[in-house]
Amino acid sequence: MPATRDAIFSSEFLSQLERLSLLSRRVFRGRVKGERRSPRRGHSVEFCDYRAYGVGDDLRYVDWNIYGRLDRLHVKLFVDEEDLCLHLLLDASASMDFGAPTKLEYGARLAAALGFIGLVGMERVGVGVLRERVAEGWPPTRGRNQVVGLFEFLSRVRPAGGTSLNDGLQNYAMRAREPGLAVVITDLLDPGGFEAGVRALLERRFDVHLVHVLTPEEMNPELAGDLRLVDSETGELRELSVDGDAIRAYRERLREFLERVEAFSRTREIGYHRVTVDTSVEEFVLSQIRGRLTV
């Protein structure tokens, strides 16, 4: 991935991203005031409503004009604004080094686009790089002036090592100082599964979205003949003959796997988004996840 934002995205696309904001299904209490409207009632400058005075309410917010007319105490309510923390969790294991562009290149560009939306919207944005654990990270940071730093960090991520999504996600959930919107970008190619790691995020009250990145070749392989396959993460060799029956068996197992992932996500109210690398990041962000992850 190029190291400069002008090389990553066109100026037109960046302008379109600036008009978007992140969409979260949960309310999080931020560390600082932001631009996100919260249904919680607070004491910002924008008036919202009145309610009857209760014991312990701050007398500074009593509306004395209403008291003079109705002889009853009412306090003013205001819209509270808060910032959201976007946690971008990017799978950088060796299996992501496949495709054209590779799944990691695609995932890094997607993370850059979502991070850009967050930073220009005055949200905090952090990155965790997943391999057999959380290998490295970019701590949650706020402000438009952090965009270049985020893009440069993502440009340096390289694929390496095995995958342990459960360990990596559980470790991130335990270490994160506060929950927020967690976007996990991965190919889900982990024999140990991913469910326990996602459940750990949910238990910490993250709003979880799973972006499942695959290649057209993985969705619809066109292999034939006698082949020697090498596992990119373990180095294991496997020789096999690929014919029509083998391809049909592969497609059936893939269908069953995708259905399990979708069912797991649906029953736990996880946002599930599947994309292949031949879909442009621009189309994916502006069309496919708009209204579900961005608005």
- Phi and psi of 289, rounded to 5°? -105, 0
Same domain, 159 and 260: yes
Residues ≥6 apart with Cβ < 8 Å to 111: 88, 90, 127, 154, 183, 185
- Number of domains, the chain: 2
Same domain, 109 and 211: yes
- Write down the pLDDT at residue 33: 47
Same domain, 61 and 206: no
**Cβ atoms < 10 Å from Cβ of 244:** 8
- Write down the pLDDT at residue 78: 55
- Write down the pLDDT at residue 52: 78
pTM of this structure: 0.82
Question: Position of tokens 């799978």?
Answer: 91
For residue 251 the two structure tokens come to 């497609």
Could you report how far apart the first and last alpha carbons of the chain are, in Å?
26
Same domain, 135 and 70: no
* Number of alpha carbons in the 13 Å side-chain half-sphere of residue 179: 17
Q: What is the pLDDT of residues 63-110, one digit of tens each?
A: 888 878 888 887 765 544 556 899 999 999 999 999 999 999 999 999
Low-confidence ranges of the chain (pLDDT < 70): 1-7, 27-50, 55-57, 76-83, 135
Same domain, 42 and 19: no
Assigned domain for 192 exists = yes
Same domain, 13 and 134: yes
Enclosing domain of residue 57: 36-82
C-alpha–C-alpha distance, residues 288 and 51, integer Å: 41
Opening angle at CA 56, ends 51 and 57, nearest 5:
35
Same domain, 166 and 94: yes
Q: What is the CATH number of the domain that holds 210?
A: 3.40.50.410
Same domain, 72 and 93: no
Q: Strand 74-82 to strand 134-142: parallel, antiparallel, or no bridges (unpaired)?
A: unpaired
DSSP state of 286: I
Residue 38 · residue 81 · CB < 8 Å: yes
Same domain, 14 and 132: yes
- Cα torsion through 284, 141, 148, 93, rounded to 10: -60
- Write down the pLDDT at residue 32: 46
Assigned domain for 293 exists = no
Q: Which amino acid is at 216?
A: P
